[in-house]
Structure 1
Amino acid sequence: MERGAGTAAPGQITRAHWVTATVLSTAVSAVAVLIGEHKFDIGPAAIALFPIVWAVLIGAIVGVQRWRPVSGATRSVAGVLLEISILLFLAKLGTEIGPTLAKFQNLGPAIVLQEVGHIFGTVIIALPVAVALGIGRASIGATWSIDRESYLAFAIERFGVRSPEYRGVFSVWLIGTVFGALYVSLLAGFTGSLGIFSPLALALGLGLGSGSMMLGGVGALSLLYPEQAAEIAALAALSNLVTNIVGFYSGVFLALPLCRRLYVFWSRLFGRDDEGRRHRAQQTSAPEEQEVLAVAEDPKARMTPWSRLLSYVIVGVAGLLVNALGTWSLAVEDAIGIAVLLVIVRVSVALGKLLPAIPSSVFVLGIGTLLSAGFLPTGAWLTGLLPNLEVMLIGLPGLALIGLTLGRDVQALRQLSWKIVLVALLTYTSSFLAAAALGQSVLHL
């Protein structure tokens, strides 16, 4: 797949790797758009399949195939482009929040309660299942949150990489990184088709703290409720913004202490020790040290001013082309709009480095929301540039890139037991449903 890179030194990133990552992600996205949207009824529910799902699945197939394997250097380039692509998607979502702020001014209690659902839904629902399955102390790491990057970094510092808690955090992070967008899109579509929750309550539940998971869920709900697609996207983005701002600190200071206390209770109730064995089956010998789970090491892309500019251009052009294919429309305003969104992304990345305690995703959503708000003179100008840009389409290459990097994670995924996979999916499900249920209780008072 990458013959042009064959003369490069091992691990060296060349122009061929940039071309491969760009062409593959754009081609996968184009195929996903051409396949289109399909909905299958299963009794009273439905499964919604749409370009986001196809992009992840096709990208994953390309990423793990052995005929012409995707190299580590290409995956490294894909990782650089992925970060920018997801932030571009969030920037566009931010511009959809601004004009609708007035509609959401009465949703303050719902926004707060959905965060409570994200924090405690996993601990209350997923933790006892994890302990009962015999995961041991890894249950704490696997169920105190949906374990995104900030939680992974905290677990390394707080527990160490050889601890059971870290293995739980890492496993849920890995599964979410690889399959999260796909799983949440299917979960949101299936739940939305049942009619139990209002689409706005489900949109609140999508504020999981993960841009790719939110993108998948918004796509599914927008397919089921096209007349409310704009509100769903804006409310999910607003909910995700709140989660990104306060979710980590709430998880560290509230959810984690609660999870550790309840772990002791459930371990006694189910008769499990810290290795997950039943007390009567304990062995006298010391337990063997668990192997540290880790993804394969890809070469690190050295970012020069030229390569950084190139990465932004690639993401912008790919998003523009996929949007044109999906909407059958391409105007000068679209290119200008993409350029403005990329400027917002670049400023947000710089602010994230300047203030590392605040993720770039918070800045990009905040700046996009502020600049598009009706009370600022930039609001009408910015929204006037973006009506032809579909948020689901410009974010599609980023989801394809997630699939292309799957080859890096295959070895670690093979090490995971079915139990931790089940607990991870239950963690995502309980967080989403608990937040949606609490949001629904406020929306229908």
Structure 2
Amino acid sequence: MASEAQLINQPSAAAPDQQITRRHWWTVVAVSLLVSVAAVLIGTYKFQLGPAPVVLFPIIWAVVLGGILGTQRIRRVSGASRAVATLLLEIGIILFLARLGTQIGPSLAKVTETGPAILLQEVGHIFGTVILALPIAVAMGLGRVAVGATWSIDRESFLAFAIQRFGVRSGEYRGVFSVWLLGSLFGAVFISLLAGFLGGLNIFDPRALALGLGLGSASMMLGGVGALSLLYPDQAGEIMALAALSNLVTNIVGFYAGVFLSLPLCRRLYTFWSRLFGKDDDGRSTRGARSKPELPGATQPAPVAVEVDPTLKVTPRITILAFAIAGASALVMNVVGTKNFAWNDAAGVIVLLLLTGLSFRLARLLPSVPSSVWVLTITTVLSAPFLPTAGLIAGLTQHLDVILIGLPALTLIGLTVGRDIKALKSLSWKIIVVALVTYSASFIAAAALGQMALGR
């Protein structure tokens, strides 16, 4: 999440001494709700791009409109407002996962039929980027940056590992940082467009595409699920359940598989491709003219760090306020999107908030297991048919639309973009291309292996 990234990256300048006031809270809440409502009112649009449709729907509008407001210079979003947005974003994403988990439980019987496909698609996430994206990155002259950019889709845990393993001035870290940054800002939009495009081609079983969405990123998964659900409304429930379960598997085993399997393979293949393309560790050609020698003690610059926002002191009172705002925002968007309200919906949101709070608590007690894993596990089990709680959970959440609940959180991603704008401007166009190839390779490879296991 964004706050974890702030702790991970070394700041280029000290955080501004800015007091966080009620005005900042009201600003963030009002803007996020207005943008989310605008995204719903704009609605869904489809147009043909060659043989496949491109689907533009509220999730995309929420991220784009939020991003425009987060980067505009007329009335800048302050660091204090971004600090508030970051806290609400963390809660909103886990709240969305809580609702998603309640859709897995009732579908467990159907999901277990695709068990081998769920396991096989994870191989695609682990090795797809290394096999498909790495040679492109080396050929484009990224040098050792290619290793960090292609051994995974580089979420927060990989960013922390790269700092400890390679150091912030290494090429590997620059690659990890760049792919993490681009994924955090634009991953949801890109994956939603890619999923919609591939879904419209009718090459893949929609269940295989859902399995491919287990990228380890909740926002990317939400974007892809939204696109596929619009294309295959009759299978929307199964698509959401499979994507969430696949993402859960990736969150549990993805980091360890990346560190112990894909990274060693990536480093070995990097040596092979570097020799084949005639590139050194800085991406310069080793053929013909001799490369310019490095000066003694010369080091590569680290990527520009994200700005550090003021620290929001999270007291019990602030925590309760943030949870109340996240829940109220989700409920408001559900009412706006469904044009319906029932007191059961409010009770359902409260139950999801309690499970979200429990997940954060368990994550603090056992830091090796993130809150996203806890919340999906707990809500899946509680909503499973073999437990007496299943009927209660289903009755309280049946009218809560999972996509609408996630909209305010995705709007907040856009509002925090201003913090990363300097780092974004420092990126080379080559790393942007490679990052998009990395996301695509992970998604498509996992979907292809899932398709094989499904036997379509």
User: Which TM-score bucket, shorter chain as reference?
Assistant: over 0.9
Aligned equivalents of 1:398, 1:51: Cα separation in 2:
13
Aligned-partner residue type, residue 349 of structure 2: I
Q: Is the CA contact (8 Å cut-off) linking 2:169 and 2:299 kept in structure 1? A: no
Query: 206, 224, 233: which is aligned to 2:240?
Result: 233
CA-CA distance at 1:288 after TM superposition: 5.1
Could you tell me which residue of structure 2 aligns to residue 320 of structure 1? 331
Residue in 2 aligned with 1:285? 294
CA offset digits 1:245-282 (Å, max 9, x no partner): 00110001000000000000001111111111111441
Would the aligned equivalents of 1:87 and 1:364 in 2 still touch at CA under 8 Å? yes
Q: Give, in whole Å, the separation in 2 of the partners of 1:291 and 1:156.
A: 11
Q: 2:107, 2:236 → 1: CA distance?
A: 12
Equivalent residue number for residue 164 of structure 1: 171
- The answer to whether the Cα contact below 8 Å between 2:304 and 2:422 also exists between their aligned partners in 1 is no
Report the counterpart of residue 392 of structure 1 in structure 2: 403
The RMSD of aligned alpha carbons is 1.0
CA distance in structure 2 between the aligned counterparts of 1:162 and 1:289, rounded to whole angstroms: 6
1:412 aligns with 2:419: no
**AA paired with 1:219?**
G
Q: Which amino acid aligns with 1:393?
A: L
Query: Residues 384-443 of structure 1, C-alpha deviation per residue, up to 9 Å, x if partnerless?
Result: 111110000010000000000011111000000000000000000000000000000011
- Note the alpha carbon deviations across 1:301-360, whole angstroms, 9 max, x for none: 110100010000000000000110000011100000000001111000111111111111
From 338, 353, 363, the equivalent of 2:349 is: 338
| Cα distance in 1, alignment partners of residues 354 and 162 from structure 2 | 33
% same residue: 63
Report if aligned partners of 1:39, 1:47 keep a CA contact under 8 Å in 2. Answer: yes
Partner of 2:256: 249
Instruction: Write out aligned runs for 1:19-418 (5 A).
Output: 19-279=26-286, 280-286=289-295, 289-418=300-429
Letter in 2 for 1:282: S
Q: Is the 8 A contact 2:192 2:223 kept in 1?
A: yes
- Amino acid in structure 2 at the alignment position of 1:23: A
TM-score under structure 2 length normalisation: 0.95
| Structure 1, gaps ≥5 residues long | 1-8
| In structure 1, C-alpha distance between the alignment counterparts of 2:412 and 2:338, rounded to whole Å | 22
Distance in 2 (CA, whole Å) between partners of 1:291 and 1:95 is: 42
Amino acid at match of 1:314: I
Give, in angstroms, the shift of residue 133 of structure 1.
0.5
Q: Following TM superposition, by how much is the alpha carbon of 1:292 offset from its aligned partner in structure 2, in angstroms?
A: 3.3
1:192 alignment partner AA? G
Calculate the TM-score normalised by the size of structure 1: 0.97
Q: Deviations over 1:192-224 (max 9, x none)?
A: 000010110000000000000000000000010
Is the 8 Å Cα contact of residues 45 and 56 (structure 2) preserved in structure 1?
yes
Contact 1:167 / 1:293 at 8 angstroms: preserved in 2?
no
Structure 2 distance, partners of 1:418, 1:268, is 24
* Secondary structure class of the residue paired with 1:395: helix
Provide the secondary structure at the position in 2 that maps to 1:39: strand
State the one-letter code of the partner of 1:387. Answer: Q
Q: How many residue pairs are counted as aligned between the two chains?
A: 437
Contact 2:303 2:423 in 1 (8 A): no
Distance 1:155 1:274 in 2: 17
* Superimposed CA distance per residue, residues 103-140 of structure 1 (whole angstroms, 9 cap, x where no aligned partner): 01221210111100000000000000000111110111
| Alignment partners' CA distance in 1, 2:290 and 2:340 | 66
- Whether the 8 Å contact between 2:94 and 2:356 is mirrored in structure 1 is yes
List gaps (5 residues or longer) in structure 2: 1-15
Displacement of 1:285 after TM fit? Answer: 3.4
